[in-house]
């Protein structure tokens, strides 16, 4: 499992010889879109961006009716005991998950009232200082009453690996004002099956787990996966604390404090919907059930580090599958959804989040870097990484290689150079010296860890350790790891060779190669303090890139993704003491890890702050505010850069494009007061789907229960705060509609720019909007020359009262 986006994969799952899990959708509307007419049941549909009243008798009776219909069709088709229904989906989609044989699935496919049968597929993870980097303590939290009110009464739901409820980041006593009952959230709290104590405490307001599909597949092991919301991985606790962890929690490891951690919205409530697990990831049937329950319970924000990794065989388009259809229902119910973009970068078309109703988050490197150095006895200084204290100042230590300090009987049983087993090394030769170890493939595979090297060195009384990288695959990523004793990882192979050459020259041996005397010396620097860089933010190498794709043939979509960039590299946050997903943090209370999984909860937490200030705003309005106020300039005033591979496959920096960062890097303070928003609702999303070439209108109706409306004309006319045209022939005009959400009338000047191969014009050049008023403007793009590559530009609306919003433009000119 990857530490970063938890991702969806197609898989055959066996219960008996041939039984598998299928997600079945049925004719008839789910609760969110039912407008009456079925056996006298009254309408339960909500308007776009409106929450479901799940306590009403209308809703509960129609929900029972749908579940009875699910049970009825299964009972009519199959003998009792030959199938197992896992879930009934009633709120966002009408259907169920069932464990049956492929032959039974085919019978379901042909049965009256069944719209689709999709085989389930698996999911895996997409895997402090950032509040200050984003300006939250000085520019954002004070506008909502300070950190102890930031996110008040906003509920963020986490579809992840659970939570470690005993962590101080989630404690209810770490706040000056006690948490009272929430006015509208209706979720439940499971008890710990061992202690019988509730997982909830006021801060954590809901905690449930979903594992029926995992159990049916035979993948669930209660000893390590925990049949409760307990986090057996670490990832779920990490993401929850990034978005909504308590403010000012000391990050302590190995006796050193690395700073104080805080969530983006430290007063927000946390609702846990565990559907991801350490060893196998998870299953879409469980994830869909978790999302359905979260919306039923009344969450305001959903933070998802999951996305499709391989295409479901039953849908041609990236936008239509049970997962995305469920999220469309969530957004219709007024829930803002932040999803990790994926960790397949820096290669194009690696996104795993596609749909316009989702806010797709790319990962940035912030301004904090950790570096260290090893000084050799010959005066050479070798750069490396290691979150460790220095060896004693003004003193050098002998260096001994693990291969040269083996106990006689141990050499053939283990790979001693990776320093994982202290019992195979000679303590008398290691004690008081610096132990040299080799960074083998075992570290990449996860069977060896830097944490274990440090423990070995400490157990043997070493003054410190050095890990030497002699061979490296292109793009291998090395992160600093906290260490209890002085330690450093030399990641540059040429520097490693310098060290090895120095060691070999200074170490005398007998005719059999055994060491007679160790003469190599060195000292390890202090790697605990970060260095702040003005080049931040930068797009992280691993962050998935556009262009977006509309189908699983990877045809380009007329929709820009990712949407926005947020911190996602080397993020300190809470960890579960039960967490075993990262070998270097087993048993620890905090972890420093990277991934778009870390970026998505940053946006979820910031969205909670926007929602707190503007409680009536739709998910699209919140997304617009975040995107249009983002920045494409780094701290040094230069255009954003992205990590990329050079021709020699080393990592370098190049000028970033919207396919790397979307609209730009999030700017929370500006997002609270954008001036203008590009709003959209359920009908707009349907219009986008219906006008996208290649999508079958019947398939759209299957998933949305709504006939197509083609008034939008072209998907590029979807009112997104970005413009993307993948196939621009001659000239095309697109329309956007903005709404003044400021308190006063304001006049906006509209300007545009584009790379030379495509001409751009906007109309009108200026417009005045009263508070609350909306107006359209048009953007015309004309091909000047066909280059075979995308051209980039932007449209900027600058207001007379200081507001400024910008939207990115991407287009590729074609001859026909």
Looking at the DSSP bridge assignments, the partners of residue 155 are 269
Do 600 and 339 meet the contact criterion of CB atoms below 8 Å apart? yes
Q: Is 775 helix (H, G, I), strand (E, B) or coil?
A: strand
Per the annotation, the verdict on 597 as an active-site residue is yes
Which ranges of 361-481 does DSSP label H, i.e. alpha helix?
Answer: 427-430, 441-445, 450-459
DSSP state of 138: I
User: Omega of the bond prior to 377 within 30 degrees of 0, cis?
Assistant: no
Distance (Å, whole) CA 600 – CA 4: 10
Alpha helices in 318-433 (DSSP H): 322-332, 427-430
Those residues whose C-beta lies under 8 Å from the C-beta of residue 530, and which sit 6 or more positions away, are: 129, 368, 369, 370
Q: Measured between alpha carbons, how far is 50 from 48 in angstroms, rounded to an integer?
A: 6
Are 625 and 738 in contact, with CB atoms under 8 Å apart?
Answer: no
Looking from the CA of 278 toward its CB, the CA atoms found within 13 Å total 23
Nearest of 369, 667, 650, 690 to residue 558 by alpha carbon: 690
How far, in Å, CA of 792 to CA of 227, rounded?
A: 49
* Cα dihedral value 799, 802, 803, 806, nearest 10: 70
Question: How far apart are the C-alpha atoms of 187 and 273, rounded to whole Å?
Answer: 10
40's torsion region: left (phi>0), alpha (psi -120 to 50) or beta?
left
State the DSSP H helix or E strand holding residue 254, giving kind and residue range, or none if neither: none
Which pair of tokens denotes residue 108? Answer: 């379901």
674, 738 Cβ separation under 8 angstroms: no
3-state secondary structure of 365: strand
Three-class secondary structure of residue 96 per DSSP: strand
DSSP 8-state secondary structure symbol assigned to residue 152: T
- The residue from 2, 153, 160, 634 that is catalytic is 160
Please report where in the chains the tokens 């080393």 appear, as a residue. 650
Helix or strand run (H / E) with residue 229: none
User: Is residue 394 among the annotated active site residues?
Assistant: no
Q: Which of 235, 238, 602, 614 is catalytic?
A: 235
Q: Which of 88, 305, 597, 624 is catalytic?
A: 597
| Contact in structure between 589 and 167 (CB atoms under 8 Å) | yes
CA distance 376 to 651: 26
Closest to 562 (Cα-Cα) out of 612, 618, 630? 630
Q: Could you identify the residue written with the tokens 């449930």?
A: 208
Q: Rounded to an integer, what distance in angstroms lies between the CA atom of residue 393 and that of residue 395?
A: 5
CA distance 302 to 78: 37
Catalytic (active site) residue 235: yes
Find the length of the chain.
Answer: 816
**Pairwise CA distance, residues 430 & 742, whole Å:** 68
Q: Do 189 and 198 form a contact (C-beta atoms < 8 A)?
A: yes
> Tokens representing 141?
């939290």
Are 302 and 208 in contact by the 8 Å Cβ rule? The answer is: no
Whole-angstrom Cα Rg for the chain: 28
DSSP 242: H
Closest CA to 322 of 120, 126, 84, 123: 120
Alpha-carbon gap, residue 441 to 258, rounded angstroms: 29
Residue with tokens 């997962």: 323
Three-state secondary structure of 651-711 = EEEEECCHHHHCCCECCHHHHCCCCEECCCCHHHHHHHHHHCCCCCHHHHHHHHCCCCCCC
Q: How far apart are CA 191 and CA 439, in angstroms?
A: 43
Catalytic residues: 160, 235, 597
């Amino acid at each position: 499992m990857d530490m970063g986006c938890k991702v969806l994969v197609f898989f055959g799952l066996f219960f008996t010889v041939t039984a598998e899990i299928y997600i079945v959708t049925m004719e008839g509307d789910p609760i969110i879109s039912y407008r009456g007419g079925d056996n006298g049941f009254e309408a339960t549909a909500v308007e776009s961006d409106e929450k479901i009243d799940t306590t009403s008798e209308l809703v509960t009776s129609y929900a029972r009716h749908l579940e009875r219909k699910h049970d009825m069709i299964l009972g009519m088709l199959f003998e009792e005991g030959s199938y197992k229904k896992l879930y009934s989906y009633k709120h966002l989609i009408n259907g169920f998950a069932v464990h049956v044989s492929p032959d039974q699935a085919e019978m379901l496919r042909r049965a009256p009232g069944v719209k689709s049968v999709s085989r389930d597929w698996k999911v895996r993870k997409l895997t402090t200082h950032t509040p200050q980097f984003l300006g939250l303590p000085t520019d954002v939290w004070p506008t909502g009453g300070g950190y102890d009110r930031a996110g008040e009464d906003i509920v963020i739901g986490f579809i992840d690996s659970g939570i470690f409820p005993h962590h101080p980041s989630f404690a209810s006593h770490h706040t000056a004002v006690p948490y009272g009952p929430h006015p509208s959230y209706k979720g439940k709290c499971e008890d710990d099956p061992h202690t019988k104590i509730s997982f909830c405490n006021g801060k954590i307001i809901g905690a449930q787990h979903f594992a029926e599909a995992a159990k049916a597949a035979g993948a669930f092991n209660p000893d390590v996966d925990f049949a409760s919301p307990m986090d057996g991985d670490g990832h779920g606790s990490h993401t929850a604390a990034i978005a909504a962890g308590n403010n000012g929690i000391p990050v302590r490891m190995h006796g050193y404090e690395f700073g104080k951690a805080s969530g983006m919205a430290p007063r927000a409530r946390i609702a846990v919907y565990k559907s991801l697990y350490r060893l196998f990831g998870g299953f879409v049937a469980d994830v869909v059930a978790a999302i359905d329950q979260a919306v039923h319970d009344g969450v305001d924000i959903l933070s998802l580090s999951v996305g499709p990794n391989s295409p479901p065989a039953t849908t041609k388009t990236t936008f239509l599958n049970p997962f995305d259809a469920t999220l469309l229902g969530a957004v219709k119910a007024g829930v803002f959804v932040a999803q990790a973009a994926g960790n397949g970068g820096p290669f194009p078309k690696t996104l795993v989040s596609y749909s316009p109703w989702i806010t797709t988050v790319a990962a940035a490197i912030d301004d904090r870097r950790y570096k260290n150095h090893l000084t050799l006895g010959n005066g050479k200084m070798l750069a490396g990484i290691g979150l460790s204290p220095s060896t004693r100042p003004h003193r050098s230590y002998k260096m001994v290689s693990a291969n040269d300090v083996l106990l006689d009987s141990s050499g053939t049983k283990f790979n001693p150079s990776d320093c994982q087993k202290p019992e195979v090394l000679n303590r008398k030769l290691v004690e008081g010296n610096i132990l040299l170890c080799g960074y083998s493939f075992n570290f990449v595979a996860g069977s060896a860890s830097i944490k274990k090297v440090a423990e070995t060195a400490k157990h043997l009384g070493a003054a410190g350790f050095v890990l030497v990288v002699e061979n490296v695959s292109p793009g291998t990523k090395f992160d600093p790891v906290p260490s209890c004793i002085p330690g450093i990882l030399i990641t540059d192979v040429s520097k490693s060779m310098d060290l090895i050459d120095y060691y070999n020259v200074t170490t005398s041996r007998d005719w059999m190669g055994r060491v007679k005397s160790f003469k190599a010396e060195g000292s390890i620097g202090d790697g605990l303090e970060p260095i702040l860089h003005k080049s931040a933010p930068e797009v992280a190498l691993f962050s998935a890139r556009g262009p977006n794709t509309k189908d699983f043939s990877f045809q380009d979509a007329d929709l820009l993704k990712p949407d926005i960039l947020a911190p996602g590299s080397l993020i300190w946050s809470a960890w579960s003491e039960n967490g075993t997903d990262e070998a270097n943090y087993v048993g620890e209370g905090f972890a420093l890890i990277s991934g778009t999984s870390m970026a998505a909860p940053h946006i979820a937490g910031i969205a909670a702050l926007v929602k707190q200030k503007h409680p009536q705003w739709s998910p699209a309005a919140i997304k617009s505010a975040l995107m249009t106020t983002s920045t494409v300039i780094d701290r040094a005033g230069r255009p954003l850069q992205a990590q990329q591979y050079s021709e020699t496959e080393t990592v370098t920096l190049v000028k970033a494009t919207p396919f790397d960062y979307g609209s730009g890097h999030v700017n929370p303070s500006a997002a609270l007061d954008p001036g203008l928003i590009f709003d959209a609702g359920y009908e707009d999303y349907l219009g986008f789907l219906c006008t996208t070439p290649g999508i079958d209108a019947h398939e759209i109706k299957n998933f949305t229960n709504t006939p197509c409306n083609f008034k939008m004309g072209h998907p590029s006319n979807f009112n997104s705060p970005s413009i993307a045209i993948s196939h621009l022939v001659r000239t095309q005009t697109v329309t956007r509609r903005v709404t003044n959400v400021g308190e006063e009338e304001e006049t906006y000047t509209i300007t545009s720019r584009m790379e030379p191969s495509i001409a751009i014009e906007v109309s009108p050049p200026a417009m005045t909007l009263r508070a609350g008023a909306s107006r359209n403007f048009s953007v015309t793009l004309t091909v000047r020359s066909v280059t075979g590559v995308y051209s980039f530009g932007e449209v900027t609306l600058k207001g007379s009262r200081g507001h400024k919003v910008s939207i990115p433009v991407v287009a590729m000119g074609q001859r026909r």
